[in-house]
Structure 1
């Protein structure tokens, strides 16, 4: 049986719903359907931000906002000028969802519950009679007489306009190759580092406010808070490095060395000089009990021990060689990374539809008329903090506008 619609959105996630709702608002007479492969829609929205839903990030300048995207920075500048963070916050506010900005710039619902976002979308979809068809796996795409024909595990659907909002779905990418689109090979982004090292062995849960990191023998670097875990290292600094280095670290098979500067921006010579001053000003204090640079006592103790400084040594008796060792541990600690772990459930992939094949004013394919792409199906990804959702909202909004303009 053929099911006819004006617009079909494949993918019942953030960008799929946002596209469908914005389109229906502009043209309530359109027959719109959302096809979702699982039995639940908006599942990533539900788990985002630890179940609170990190809606966006409070960066309101389009050109600055674009810099948080390792892939997509150039392409998103124009779209962000059309629909940016402030527009998203206003959009939700107009629909009864109050948002708040946290100290680190992340934006959440005031009720700290992702369900408020899900309920908003489901209510809007119901108000506009958008059909949500679940447990429907798309198996084939073809173009016949100016209509898109979508063969699924249940039925066959037909629509003039087709929006692909399926995120990082390899099977859908393969289907899009059959309509001549190129796929940039997907690799993981936003992952944590597996590290076995005596210096951090028993420090699970210890965090530092600001470190700087670099990959040895590479130009890759990042800074930010770092968290020591039972499998190695995580936290914003590590996740940023993994995002910017997604392809390079994949090519290294996740076997590489990182250099950690625990002081963030002090260099070796400055730290050595400060340690020598401490030797003069605190001669009778025990080094291991005298944590510096805002480090926790436990982390400081491990770095002191790694510098061949005994537990009872006082500053007066420390040698120049030992101070050199400690300055090195503080500013250029080397760690061997051996593999990666997925960051929570918020898995992000670098890869997807080649951005050269998409018109970023409309999100329409340059190769196929009436075919649109929104969200993470594109070769766009960002660091953590609400930026991946902002991409979903902006591209969904532009696609909705472009389709509405055709009617």
Structure 2
């Protein structure tokens, strides 16, 4: 039998571990090098510690629509390994998964530790090495070998899998090997807004709101959440992902327009007039007219100086117009961004033109594979970023296994 080859995986995150977990231990010695003291840190904190493993979207053509960058390239990747395959992989390793009503997929334990244990056990059972607190400083290519330098020692490998995430240092290392880097900017962030309407209302949510950035002629809809610093929720996060580069150029200062009830002013007017006719003596403050919380409704009244004790019959046209403007087309000035929870995602990384998406190999470096967030690929929230990691890692492992 031919001598085992050495594979070094740089980065102990989702893509790195999934690559190792699917490699053939009879053919390869595999070592994962992770610079932090713990592996799989993003897996651990994902979904509030529950780990949003993937998303119940099983048609690759539909699935790529959730990726602002990389959608064209990922189509072929997802035809080979998609969320259904991810579910099968974990469930066959005694990690049952569940699909929640928003189609996000979690382990039934509601603990990311279940996912982490499955990956770590699979890698350890193959006899592969996991090394923590090993920070790679340089990679040198010399004939058929790669020399991976760290502070304490050097490693040699015939094959390198680069799954470091998008830290500036890791991008510099791969840039020094000849790859072009698309400047990373934040994606998936929330909007910082100072406005009287949002004051004292953190935690207030809206099931389906519409948000526009008028200057960019772009809009998104979905759940919306008022936070201590402004607005968050899927509608905001989708906008931040799709417009990541443009908003970075604007230095995160721009205006948005929010429709809290996803109804036009004429529809909102008709609903209010009908309610007014049916409940003329009811106080405005106690009236439940739209699908918004009583606290938010009363805040709209307060900001517009409308007396909540006033009867519906006495609501003036001017006051009604103020209400419509505030709930259907309220303008806010965004003054900054905030990271969404701890799940920092970037748009940018290794130029996709330099990757062979049949197997995620570098077109520039032989026997060198790249996956995960170090690539110029990112997705909206909901398990999609992890799915890209699982799928890319699967392709890498399959290609290395048949070498």
Q: Distance in 2 between matches of 1:77 and 1:304?
A: 49
Q: Structure 2-normalised TM-score?
A: 0.96
**Residue 288 (structure 1) aligned to one of 269, 278, 285:** 285
SS across alignment from 1:339: strand
Look up the match of 2:38: 40
Unaligned runs of 5+ in 1: none
Q: Distance in 2 between matches of 1:176 and 1:5?
A: 22
Output aligned runs, 1:208-223, within 5 Å.
208-223=206-221
Give the conservation status (yes or no) of the 8 Å contact 1:21–1:124: yes
1:190 aligns with 2:181: no
SS across alignment from 2:216: coil
- 1:293 is displaced (CA, Å) by 2.3
Q: Distance in 1 between matches of 2:215 and 2:184?
A: 24
Look up the match of 2:330: 333
SS across alignment from 1:192: strand
Q: Distance in 1 between matches of 2:390 and 2:173?
A: 24
Look up the match of 2:62: 64
CA RMSD for the aligned pairs? 1.4
Q: Structure 1-normalised TM-score?
A: 0.95
Give the conservation status (yes or no) of the 8 Å contact 1:292–1:300: no
Q: Distance in 1 between matches of 2:400 and 2:83?
A: 22
**Residue 358 (structure 1) aligned to one of 355, 358, 364:** 355
- 1:5 is displaced (CA, Å) by 5.6
- 1:284 is displaced (CA, Å) by 1.4
Q: Distance in 2 between matches of 1:275 and 1:245?
A: 35
Output aligned runs, 1:389-400, within 5 Å.
389-400=386-397
**Residue 367 (structure 2) aligned to one of 359, 363, 370:** 370
Q: Distance in 2 between matches of 1:141 and 1:208?
A: 49
Look up the match of 2:294: 297
Give the conservation status (yes or no) of the 8 Å contact 1:5–1:158: no
Output aligned runs, 1:152-191, within 5 Å.
152-191=150-189
Q: Distance in 2 between matches of 1:5 and 1:196?
A: 58
Give the conservation status (yes or no) of the 8 Å contact 1:9–1:33: yes
Q: How many pairs are equivalent? A: 400
Deviations 1:305-356 (A, max 9, x none): 3344222222211222222221111210111111111111111111111111
Q: Distance in 2 between matches of 1:168 and 1:52?
A: 23
**Residue 100 (structure 2) aligned to one of 90, 99, 102:** 102
Unaligned runs of 5+ in 2: none
Q: Distance in 2 between matches of 1:307 and 1:292?
A: 17
Look up the match of 2:8: 8
- 1:288 is displaced (CA, Å) by 2.2
**Residue 402 (structure 2) aligned to one of 390, 400, 405:** 405
Output aligned runs, 1:209-248, within 5 Å.
209-248=207-246
Look up the match of 1:23: 23
SS across alignment from 1:275: helix
Q: Distance in 2 between matches of 1:58 and 1:201?
A: 36
SS across alignment from 1:334: strand
Q: Distance in 2 between matches of 1:291 and 1:181?
A: 58
Output aligned runs, 1:302-313, within 5 Å.
302-313=299-310
- 1:163 is displaced (CA, Å) by 0.6
